[in-house]
């Protein structure tokens, strides 16, 4: 048992940390204020090799695992959560399922472009009437000769309007519920497929969150990812990985909250001394630090298990649950440490407070994580 990062993991972490400090942090507040999609950040991340972390080298990626991805995502999200979620979705919800379930032809076609950042990916599961109840999706894929015709709407799709490739879960009609779902890879520009309204959100305002509209959108049978009817299984297995990514994002946001709090508590003087000398502040710092450490360990354990190809549904749900709650607790306490100025846009904690909130909602709400975890514990 060893809690140290390996030599290359440590250098990767530093590279990502420097990217976060030098590139992401300085632009985070502008990106937030203008709801600006962080295209430049994504390009820079691509140059550093952060877009094909999980993709094997033969397809132009780095051939690393979720551990390295979690290390990168934690640092990136410490700097800018809008950039962070875009990278998380691209790596763990798009590249990962293509690596795991894609045909050779699909891998050759998509992975090199996704790794280089030439193409950006999105993952479309949620619908107006199917969020937490994912098995009830109704977007239909009707078989017509050698093609499938997609009709319906997806909502709340991260990078939806920016993506060049979207993994779309659709009902192929073979069976009701989870069994009749098939995953398709749909390219931007396919006739009958277009992005709809863009959401105006509380936090991660630079991340693009869009509706996707499919109207008689015909795709070849070769667009099926994995096998017909396997979609729900692919969706859930993919989310097991995605939750590690959101766990890492949460740790990054929480760490940023702690860093800001420590800095401010040492600088800010009241009653003639830095507020860091008051126990009320010290206890907040201690609790934040301890919960962040625990979250990080949970995230890394889940990543370790996924990389070792061992069962990790419960562990990744636990990591996501605990880390996202930690991010919100840290955001709350960081604002409390800052007092009035923390409530203003002058200080990063105001943005962190809003950015943290989504981590308890997307890729499975806190409540869904509780269902997943308890089901595993009670089975």
Q: C-beta of 308: minimal distance to other proteins in Å?
A: 19
Mark the segment that binds other proteins (CB under 8 A) among 64-72, 96-104, 127-135, 169-177: 64-72
Report the distance separating Cα 108 and Cα 56, nearest Å. 11
Number of residues forming the site for other proteins (CB under 8 A):
20
Residue carrying the six token digits 């909602």: 361
CB of 95 to other proteins, least distance (A): 13
Q: How would DSSP label each residue in 102-116?
A: --HHHHHHHHHHHHH
> d(Cα 371, Cα 379) in Å, to the nearest integer?
12
Q: Which of 134, 123, 18, 131 is nearest to 79 (CA)?
A: 18
Residue 162 CA to residue 37 CA, distance in Å, equals: 9
Contact call for residue 64 and other proteins (CB under 8 A): yes
Query: What's the Cα-to-Cα distance from 77 to each of 13, 21, 73, 213, 279, rounded to whole Å?
Result: 12, 11, 6, 30, 29
Phi, psi of 363 (to 5 degrees): 50, 40
Is the dihedral angle over the CA atoms 359, 363, 366, 369 positive or is it negative? negative
- Cβ proximity to other proteins: between 14 and 30 the closer is 14
Are 181 and 254 contacting, i.e. CB atoms less than 8 angstroms apart?
A: no
Contact 330, 323 (CB under 8 A): no
Of 61-69, 162-170, 186-194, 368-376, which part binds other proteins (CB under 8 A)?
61-69
Task: Using the rule CB under 8 A, give the single segment among 3-11, 83-91, 127-135, 158-166 that binds other proteins.
Answer: 3-11
When asked if residue 68 is in the footprint of other proteins (CB under 8 A), the reply is yes
Instruction: Name the DSSP class of 55.
Output: S
Alpha helices in 188-278 (DSSP H): 231-267
Which CB, 13 or 233, lies closer to other proteins?
Answer: 13
Q: Which of 75, 363, 367, 379 is catalytic?
A: 363
In terms of CB distance, is 49 or 231 closer to other proteins? 49
Among the listed residues 24, 32, 50, 163, the single contact to other proteins using CB under 8 A: 50
Residue (15 or 366) nearer to other proteins, CB: 15
Task: Identify whether the C-beta of residue 58 lies closer than 8 Å to the C-beta of residue 100.
Answer: no
Q: Which region among 45-53, 120-128, 129-137, 153-161 touches other proteins (by CB under 8 A)?
A: 45-53
Instruction: Report the alpha-carbon distance of residue 1 to residue 53 in Å, rounded.
Output: 25
**Taking CB under 8 A as the rule, does residue 19 contact other proteins?**
yes
CA gap 49, 117 in Å, rounded: 9
- Tell me whether residue 118 is one of the annotated catalytic residues: no
Per CB under 8 A, which region of 58-66, 208-216, 263-271, 347-355 contacts other proteins? Answer: 58-66
- Cβ closest to other proteins, residue 15 vs residue 153: 15
Q: What's the rounded Cα separation, in Å, for the pair 336 and 17?
A: 26
Shortest Cβ 73–other proteins spacing (Å): 13
Q: Minimum CB separation from other proteins for residue 317, in Å? A: 28
Binding mask of the shown chain, residues 71 to 110, with x at each position contacting other proteins by CB under 8 A:
-x--------------------------------------
Which one of residues 28, 31, 38, 49 is an interface residue with other proteins (CB under 8 A)?
49
Among 25, 35, 56, 63, binds other proteins (CB under 8 A): 63
Q: Cα(290)–Cα(34) distance, rounded to whole angstroms? A: 34
The yes or no reply on residue 14 touching other proteins (CB under 8 A) is yes
Minimum CB distance to other proteins smaller for 53 or for 149: 53
Which stretch, 46-54, 194-202, 223-231, 278-286, contacts other proteins (CB under 8 A)?
46-54
- Which residue do the tokens 């950015």 mark? 355
| Rounded least distance, CB 286 to other proteins, Å | 18
Neighbours of 341 (CB within 10 A): 13
Q: Does 59 bind other proteins (CB under 8 A)?
A: no
Residue 141's SS3 state is strand
The H helix count followed by the E strand count for the chain is 12, 10
Residues with active-site annotation: 363
Query: Given the rule CB under 8 A, which residues bind other proteins?
Result: 7-8, 10-12, 14-15, 18-19, 47-50, 53, 57, 62-64, 68, 72
């Amino acid at each position: 048992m060893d809690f140290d990062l390996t030599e290359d993991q440590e250098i990767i972490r530093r590279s990502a940390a420097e990217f976060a400090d030098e590139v992401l942090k300085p632009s985070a507040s502008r990106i937030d204020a203008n709801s600006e999609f962080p295209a430049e950040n994504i390009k820079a991340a691509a140059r550093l090799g952060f877009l094909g972390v999980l993709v094997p080298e033969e397809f132009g990626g780095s051939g690393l695992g979720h551990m390295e991805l979690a290390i990168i995502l934690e640092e990136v999200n410490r700097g800018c959560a809008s950039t962070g979620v875009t990278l998380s979705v691209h790596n763990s919800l798009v590249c990962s399922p293509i690596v795991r379930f894609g045909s050779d032809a699909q891998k050759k076609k998509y992975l090199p472009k996704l790794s280089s950042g030439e193409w950006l990916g999105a993952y479309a599961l949620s619908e107006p009437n199917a969020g937490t109840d994912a098995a009830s999706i109704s977007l239909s894929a009707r078989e017509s000769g050698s093609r499938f015709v997609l009709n319906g709407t997806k909502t709340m799709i991260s990078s939806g309007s920016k993506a060049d490739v979207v993994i779309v879960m659709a009902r192929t009609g073979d069976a009701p519920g989870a069994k009749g779902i098939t995953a398709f890879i749909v390219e931007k520009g396919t006739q009958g497929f277009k992005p709809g309204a863009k959401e105006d959100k509380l936090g991660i305002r630079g991340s693009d969150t869009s509706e996707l509209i499919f109207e008689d959108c015909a795709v070849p049978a070769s667009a099926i990812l994995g096998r017909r009817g396997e979609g729900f299984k692919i969706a859930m297995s993919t989310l097991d990985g995605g939750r590690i990514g959101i766990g890492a994002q949460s740790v990054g946001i929480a760490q940023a909250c702690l860093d800001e709090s420590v800095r401010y508590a040492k600088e800010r003087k009241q009653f003639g001394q830095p507020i860091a000398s008051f126990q009320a502040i010290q206890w907040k710092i201690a609790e934040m630090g301890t919960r962040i450490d625990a979250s990080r360990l949970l995230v890394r354990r889940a990543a370790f298990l996924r990389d070792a190809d061992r069962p990790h549904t419960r562990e990744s749900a636990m990591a996501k649950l605990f880390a996202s709650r930690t991010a919100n607790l840290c955001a709350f306490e960081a604002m409390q440490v800052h007092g009035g100025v923390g409530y203003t846009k002058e200080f990063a904690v105001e943005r962190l407070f809003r950015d943290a909130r989504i981590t308890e909602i997307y890729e499975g709400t806190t409540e869904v994580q509780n269902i997943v975890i308890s089901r595993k514990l009670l089975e």
